Amino acid sequence: MKSEKLLDEIGLIDDRLIAEAETYEAKRKKKKGRWLGLAAVAACAAIIFSLGLIPKEPDPSLGLPKLTINENMGDYGFEGFLAYDVKELSDGNPWNENDRIDTLPVFRNPVSYDAAGLPINGLSEEQMMQTAKDTAETMELAIDSVSLSASGDEAVAICGDVTINAEPDGGIRIIFGSSVQLPEEYRFTFHDTTQKEAQDVLQYLLSEYQAVSGLKSPSLSLFGDYNINGQRTFSYDAFESEGDFIQRILGYNFNRISFSPDDEGKLWIIDRYKANLSQKIGDYPIITAQKARELLLQKKYITSVPEKMPGEKMIAGVELIYRTSHYDEIFMPYYRFLVELPSMKMENGLKTFGAFYVPAVGEAYLTNMPRWNGNFN
């Protein structure tokens, strides 16, 4: 649940505007992280452990440059989820505690942004416009016009009442001016949809928009936490799972599609994201999840949670992910621990789980190891 959704809960923002804010933020984060306002309740999700060793000193024979950790968590409030049990927050991440990983690839983010969040580089204007045109062609839509946005940070194709936005990072947003009615057997909402209903509608949408997704072997990435009223809320995502285990991990983090309903249960927005991973830095040795847990307890973590980590007994789980925000100049793996925050437990039994990040690349390969100093963000 994000701060925008909290405003929605108290009726301050129109549902359609809320959905747009949510899908836009989800697209920017490229992952399922949700951000809670400081004046509201909060929480965050995960799974459990993975293996891999790292030498105490870098191995010169690997020829790997040291990496710099991004400690900027943004300004969205704090990352978290509400759930009765952390297991409810699983979303199809292909990694789990039984997987052995010795190395993972690290990439340079080919797109950088200025202080205002506008792209400095990435796809050129011509490339963005061509991407918008190609998407329209894939959808068999007649193009009325293609132009740059007023800010110049994306190309916009107008195709009747359908708008296609193409961004410098390769992201594509398709907005249906007249939302698309789904067959009556499907229930497609942000709230009060069961797990089975959400799975069914996502499978249907993937089938209907396979050409748009381009996913050869899509895996569902349904994520459902709760709002403050105890309603289950879902994000309807899928990712590319073709290839070996490492390729599936990369697909989960970098090759995704998301569908968003309007407040009448119709399809309103499709977001397609496929990161440019052409600037590979190298394959880096990965520490174990147990080692990362030790670092977490030593306060060597990054978090947006506005209180200290409440102790080892409150660790609910961990998953292996890549951070892919605008602030990340390097796409590198982290262990994201989900920690129950007892001070934020709700009267209806919902628990708050906060997100704490520990680099999965060993300290010997880092120029800086984060250490929490008691400050928020």
- How far apart CA 273 and CA 258 sit, in angstroms, is 9
For the chain, domain boundaries: 28-109+285-365, 114-274
Task: Using DSSP, state whether 81 is helix, strand or coil.
Answer: strand
Q: Which amino acid is at 343?
A: S
pLDDT tens digits, 322-336: 999 888 999 999 999
Please say if the pLDDT value at position 119 is more than 80. Answer: no
Q: Please give the radius of gyration of the chain, using alpha carbons only, rounded to the nearest integer.
A: 20
| Pick from 45, 5, 21: nearest CA to 233 | 5
Q: The tokens of 315 are what?
A: 């660790």
Q: pLDDT digit string (tens) for 283-298?
A: 999 999 999 999 999 9
| Segment 217-276, tens digit of pLDDT | 999 999 999 988 888 999 999 999 999 999 999 999 999 999 999 999 999 999 999 999
Question: 364, 58 in Cβ contact below 8 A?
Answer: yes
| Structure-token pair, residue 170 | 């390769």
Q: How many CB atoms lie within 10 A of CB 304?
A: 25
Q: Which of 6-10, 133-137, 323-327 shows the lowest mean pLDDT across its residues?
A: 6-10
Cβ-based neighbours of 342, under 8 Å, separated by 6 or more: 310, 314
Q: What is the pTM of this model?
A: 0.84
Instruction: Give yes or no for a contact between 228 and 6, defined as CB atoms under 8 angstroms apart.
Output: yes
Per-residue pLDDT reduced to its tens digit, 62-99: 789 999 998 887 766 789 999 999 999 999 999 987 78
Q: Decide if 201 contacts 236 (C-beta within 8 A).
A: yes
pLDDT band at 377, cuts 50/70/90? low
Average of per-residue pLDDT across 345-366: 94
